[in-house]
Structure 1
Amino acid sequence: MGGTIGSRVMRTVFVFTVICILLCHNAFGFYLPGVAPEDFRKGDPLNVKVNKLTSIKTQLPYSYYSLPFCHPDAIVDSRENLGEVLRGDRIENSRYVFKMREPQMCNVVCRLTLDAKTAKEFKDKIEDEYHVNMILDNLPLVVPIPRAEQESPVYQLGFHVGLKGQYSGSKDEKYFLHNHLSFTVKYHKDQQTEAARIVGFEVVPFSVKHEYEGQWSEDTRLMTCDPHAKRTVSSSNSPQEVEDKQEVIFTYDVAFKESEVKWASRWDTYLLMSDDQIHWFSIVNSLMIVLFLSGMVAMIMLRTLFRDISKYNELETQEEAQEETGWKLVHADVFRPPYNSELLCVYVGTGVQFLGLVLVTMIFAALGFLSPSNRGGLMTAMLLLWVLMGLLAGYASARLYKMFKGTEWKKIALRTAFLFPATVFSIFFVLNALIWGQKSSGAVPFGTMFALVFLWFGISVPLVFVGSYIGFRKPAIEDPVKTNKIPRQIPEQAWYLNPVFSILIGGILPFGAVFIELFFILTSIWLNQFYYIFGFLFIVLVILIITCAEISIVLCYFQLCSEDYLWWWRSYLTSGSSALYLFLYAAFYFFTKLDITKPVSGVLYFGYMLIASYAFFVLTGTIGFYACFWFTRMIYSSVKID
């Protein structure tokens, strides 16, 4: 029987290895060519690609050609990795084609006449403040916004489809379309060769009602924008209204500007826009919490606890021991398996899986391996790491399950493999159906959904079973003290030791250690901004781990001193309750920082934040549990028990 199980495990590992190699090749091979620098010589064609339309008001992305913009002869979709598809990216070719270091003026892209339907489509996107996103040589298009107090401008990702406002003294608000784009391509020239590399891609959008004489033809010269007369558009031109039967002519200018910025540093402008002082304040704030908790733990460990151990070990008679009160009295019950121990094993295993995922991701990101230039790379890496960490999840849950005298390891492996992922996938499926109903490009296609299910069932589930098999074969963890058959009665507890109260109090400090950095993370996700200060985030993660461990140990010690030995679940929930504060802060952020009005967008926001809070609960709860697990084993193995 053992040989049969072992051979099955080996076959599973072999199949898993082959599948992982194929998936990693497909997932990561898509964007690796975009990382290498590309040299351009004068006159080389530069093809601008278009990406999704985004709005911070609706949070629903749409493909560029969902609006009647100028179409190329054939629309070609770029090959996208898993992370890009999940982000809603839809990268396609466009009719904007430049020539390296050859300025162009008033190039006509196309001409179209709006009807009632297309006019309404443009108006709806302008009303919802949608941005147009473009890409050149893997660099996103930005709009420079000058700042009075600083020399360097603020960069806004993409440009607005149009604007809504009044014009020429009219009291009625009208919609105006950005139909002229003034591009600036920054390049760094090699001093030894004529080759150059693109280091910046900027645009200033204009709304201009182009005028011309006679009938329209391909050779028609615009009166409002004439390259022969070296006359381009300006803010003094009449804007292009969006109305039925309006004629719209799309044009653009291109200017090339040499830059001292080298290719390796071209992303610094995008990534270093945030104020480092605020992040240092976040670190200092978190460190103060850690120092406070560390002082309490040191007091407990070095003074109170060591004094207790010395006193308990010096008791000579059984009568003296019975007169004492404190944590030693519950030694025969402290390692009694908790109520619903199987569920605890599942959540602990899932938490170990998350902890491994977060630590590896943070290390790779802090070292620069997950640069935003690898679009979608961070999300793809997190998904693959989650799948691979299933091995740790199965191992951790099986080890704990065997310590609780469990015998059905396949049952616990199955629950570990399905409980958390099934909950998250169900919420994600409902949210995806809502996005699909809005005809948004953010809806995950059926093929990608199948790939996610395949990663789950084909790789994650077998790995969890492999980990459980390995963990269950190891000798059971032995308790430092024996457990009585009859449980001891728990005395009446003080109000401040009430489980609900102590659990809610325990989650405040872990949340306080991360809430400032949480603001920047939410801003990057929901306000479409870059976040790439993973060095700060890694420090905050370490502080979070220490905080969760220390607050759980402190409250666990107080609980045991009051002769309450039901610490298993409470140790998990104490630090895990910080997820409740995270969700409440997300609700506060929604009502104070976001301008979301559509019900579907609100449901999407709270749905995704519910998933994030659930994951945060599992992560922090597991950290607190293992801290208390180590603490209780350490103190009860240090005293003499008759």
Structure 2
Amino acid sequence: MRPLPFLLPLLPTLITAFYLPGSAPRDYAPGERIDVFVNTLTPMLNSKLHSLISHDYYDPRFHFCQPEGGPKKQPESLGSILFGDRILTSPYDIKMLENSTCQTLCRSNVPRDDAKFINDRIREDYGLNLIIDGLPSGEMKRDSKTGEIFLDAQGFNLGDDDTLPDSPSLNNHYDIFIQYHSRDYQHFRVVGVLVYPRSVDSMIIGEDSPDCFSDKPFYLSENNDNQLYYTYSISFIPSEIPWGLRWDMYLHVFDPKIHWFSLINSLVIVSFLIFMVAMILYRTISKDISRYNAIDLAEDVQEDYGWKLVHGEVFRMPNRPMLLSVCVGTGTHLILMCIVTLIFALLGFLSPSNRGSLATVLLICWTIFGCVGGYTSARTYSSLGGENWKSNIVLTSILFPIVTFSIIGLLNLFLVFASASGAVPFGTILAVLLLWFLISVPLSIVGYFYGMKHGPFSNPIRTHPIPRQIPPKPWYLEPIQSAILGGILPFGAAFVELYFVLSSLFGNRAYYAFGFLFLTFSVVALTTATVSVLFVYFILCAEEYRWHWRSFLIGGGSSFWLFAYGVWYWASRLSLDSFTSVVLYFGYLFLFSLLDFLIGGSIGFIASYFAVRRLYGSIRVD
């Protein structure tokens, strides 16, 4: 008898479901309190971005209303803290299905000195961020190009700078609309949060309660002290959107046709490039190898030319082999970190409902894959002929983290001096350092020794004892020129998606087009490898055998264009008003360019190295 029919009734009991951490639904009964949390005040990307400094909601200069007993911090992930989230309790009193109008938060006194600070933040388009049942507050907007309606999760404006030329109005009343989905008569779930702020001069002389329906806006005077009411209204709106799809309104992909056009255009370009390079190299190299191998070496009539002339030099040890191996190992480490993180994002594990999950997974992958960097560095260094393995293992483990932590630490000091909430706390810095010292460094050492155990890759040709003279070569094969020219195509395959990444990163918008990003990353990797192999072939044909560093520079050449594009983005899309914001922007831009240089350079070197081994392993040499 077959056991399958007897197992079928048991299958429903074997099937289970689970929710990702931080994304489990919560049911509310009518009248049950709904917690409202506040996050940092961040600059909003409207026509232009004016600042990169975030401020704590309960910064004493804002004089916002506080809950009884003072605000309490909420537990956050490591990635959430690194991205600048500071989530605290609030004085809002909201209960499920209970509508209310003109509820008073508090009466606030704002001195004239702090009024100038608030007005400056209004002019810089700062926004407030409420979090209700894990959903960020937003405003309903319509995409001007697609006509699609979506929730903009940037928050809502602190004030309005368009009312009077010299004095912006302060939004002190918030109309909060909560969309809910009904499971039954006693269980309801929050599926949307909309906040529309208004400026209301609600103070009435001789009255103890505010007038929320006044048409007169409120202006903070910078010459006198100010008194005002903070008020809010609550409206519950039924919705047919189920809880599992509530983030769809937030995860809006701007200009999807542009994404597809850019991706298809990049795929066509890289396919054509790979086909042409493969055909040219195959036909040329096959003809050269056949003619070269047909010569009788015993008669000593061989006449080498082109890339064959340098067969005795091509595997000679390059300058600074230790630094090259460390860069290749670090780049391979970063490549695997990006690939695994993108795979997790594609599978839906990096849901925005779990705040900071992207940064957390990136940090975990960077920590775990230190073994890959150590292994790659060890095999690369031994293949290049290096012998000082002790220094190499130390540099592999600490060089890139020290450079990165130094840059981020310097930028963090600027944030501390600017009293920004985005400054990383000491406890978080200590946690990252412990991850590095206690996990990443030991794994890197283990990977290094494992790579030493496997030993170097065997070279197919012996190296001559005396280096040969290098003839003059064309200008476009010089190291800097070839790197800049070689970086054009990889950058061209990614610059459209790069615009959306920068807008999301600096504009406080959720980025969720990971499918486009993964395909773009794959196309850029293929383009980088192909262009690097092509330029290395041209370099060898020019009888230049010092190709190791050139292949790395050509592969990382897109970082030059990335930095140049960042400068253009700063000039066209940003209007940073403070020196600290400019330093932060260019500091982060330099760090991104450095990461791109290491990733692209590693791809270029690895592809070129195995292409050169295959090329010179196909000829007969006495």
The question of whether the paired residues in 2 share the 8 Å contact of 1:188 and 1:263 is answered with yes
In the TM superposition, what are the counterparts of 1:85-234 in structure 2 within 5 Å? 85-146=81-142, 150=147, 152-153=149-150, 155=152, 157-166=154-163, 173-190=166-183, 192-212=184-204, 214-216=206-208, 220=209, 222=210, 224-225=211-212, 233=213
Which residue in the other structure is 2:255 paired with? 275
Which residue in the other structure is 1:567 paired with? 547
Encode CA deviations 1:281-308: one digit per residue, 9 max, x unaligned.
Answer: 1102211320232122222333111111
The one-letter code matched in structure 2 to 1:174 is S
Structure 2 CA distance for aligned equivalents of residues 245 and 488 of structure 1: 81
TM-score between both structures, scaled by the size of structure 1: 0.89
**1:387, distance to aligned residue in structure 2 (A):** 1.1
Structure 1 CA distance for aligned equivalents of residues 143 and 443 of structure 2: 53
Which residue in the other structure is 2:26 paired with? 38
CA spacing shift, 1:453–1:556, aligned 2, 3 Å: same
**1:330, distance to aligned residue in structure 2 (A):** 1.3
**1:215, distance to aligned residue in structure 2 (A):** 4.4
Encode CA deviations 1:1-60: one digit per residue, 9 max, x unaligned.
Answer: xxxxxxxxxxxxxxxxxxxxxxxxxxxxxx965310111121111111000000142211
Encode CA deviations 1:173-196: one digit per residue, 9 max, x unaligned.
Answer: 223111111010001111x45311
**1:252, distance to aligned residue in structure 2 (A):** 0.8
Encode CA deviations 1:132-165: one digit per residue, 9 max, x unaligned.
Answer: 0110011000022356773625625211111224
Structure 2 CA distance for aligned equivalents of residues 151 and 484 of structure 1: 67
Q: Say which SS state the counterpart of residue 278 (structure 1) adopts.
A: helix
In the TM superposition, what are the counterparts of 1:35-74 in structure 2 within 5 Å? 35-55=23-43, 56-66=49-59, 67-73=62-68, 74=70
Which residue in the other structure is 2:358 paired with? 378
Greater shift after overlay, 319-328 or 459-468? 319-328
- Confirm whether residue 554 of structure 1 aligns to residue 534 of structure 2: yes
Which residue in the other structure is 2:10 paired with? none
The one-letter code matched in structure 1 to 2:198 is F
**1:124, distance to aligned residue in structure 2 (A):** 2.6
Which residue in the other structure is 1:237 paired with? 215
Q: Extract unaligned runs of 5+ from structure 2.
A: 1-18, 44-48
Which residue in the other structure is 1:331 paired with? 311
From 384, 393, 413, the equivalent of 1:413 is: 393
Which residue in the other structure is 2:9 paired with? none
**1:408, distance to aligned residue in structure 2 (A):** 3.1
Structure 1 CA distance for aligned equivalents of residues 143 and 514 of structure 2: 26
Structure 2 CA distance for aligned equivalents of residues 60 and 336 of structure 1: 50
The one-letter code matched in structure 2 to 1:373 is S
The question of whether the paired residues in 1 share the 8 Å contact of 2:23 and 2:354 is answered with yes
Encode CA deviations 1:519-561: one digit per residue, 9 max, x unaligned.
Answer: 0000001122121010110000110110011001111111112
Encode CA deviations 1:301-346: one digit per residue, 9 max, x unaligned.
Answer: 3311111111111112466764231212211111111111111110
Q: Say which SS state the counterpart of residue 39 (structure 1) adopts.
A: coil
Q: Say which SS state the counterpart of residue 129 (structure 2) adopts.
A: strand
Which residue in the other structure is 1:21 paired with? none
Which residue in the other structure is 1:13 paired with? none
Percent identity over the alignment is 42
Structure 1 CA distance for aligned equivalents of residues 467 and 299 of structure 2: 21
From 459, 463, 478, the equivalent of 2:439 is: 459
**1:513, distance to aligned residue in structure 2 (A):** 1.0
- Confirm whether residue 635 of structure 1 aligns to residue 608 of structure 2: no
The question of whether the paired residues in 2 share the 8 Å contact of 1:333 and 1:483 is answered with yes
The one-letter code matched in structure 2 to 1:532 is Y
The question of whether the paired residues in 2 share the 8 Å contact of 1:147 and 1:154 is answered with no
Structure 2 CA distance for aligned equivalents of residues 413 and 116 of structure 1: 59
The question of whether the paired residues in 2 share the 8 Å contact of 1:145 and 1:156 is answered with no
The one-letter code matched in structure 1 to 2:272 is F
Number of paired residues?
593
Over the aligned positions, Cα root-mean-square deviation in angstroms equals: 1.8
The question of whether the paired residues in 2 share the 8 Å contact of 1:409 and 1:468 is answered with no
The one-letter code matched in structure 2 to 1:53 is L
CA spacing shift, 1:583–1:319, aligned 2, 3 Å: farther
- Confirm whether residue 512 of structure 1 aligns to residue 492 of structure 2: yes
Q: Say which SS state the counterpart of residue 271 (structure 1) adopts.
A: coil
In the TM superposition, what are the counterparts of 1:380-395 in structure 2 within 5 Å? 380-395=360-375
Which residue in the other structure is 1:487 paired with? 467
In the TM superposition, what are the counterparts of 1:279-298 in structure 2 within 5 Å? 279-298=259-278
Structure 2 CA distance for aligned equivalents of residues 281 and 193 of structure 1: 47
**1:113, distance to aligned residue in structure 2 (A):** 2.8
The one-letter code matched in structure 1 to 2:92 is Y
CA spacing shift, 1:372–1:582, aligned 2, 3 Å: same
Q: Say which SS state the counterpart of residue 323 (structure 1) adopts.
A: coil
TM-score between both structures, scaled by the size of structure 2: 0.92
From 260, 268, 281, the equivalent of 2:240 is: 260
The question of whether the paired residues in 2 share the 8 Å contact of 1:391 and 1:467 is answered with yes
The question of whether the paired residues in 2 share the 8 Å contact of 1:188 and 1:196 is answered with yes
The question of whether the paired residues in 2 share the 8 Å contact of 1:50 and 1:94 is answered with yes
The question of whether the paired residues in 1 share the 8 Å contact of 2:295 and 2:302 is answered with no
Q: Extract unaligned runs of 5+ from structure 1.
A: 1-30, 226-232
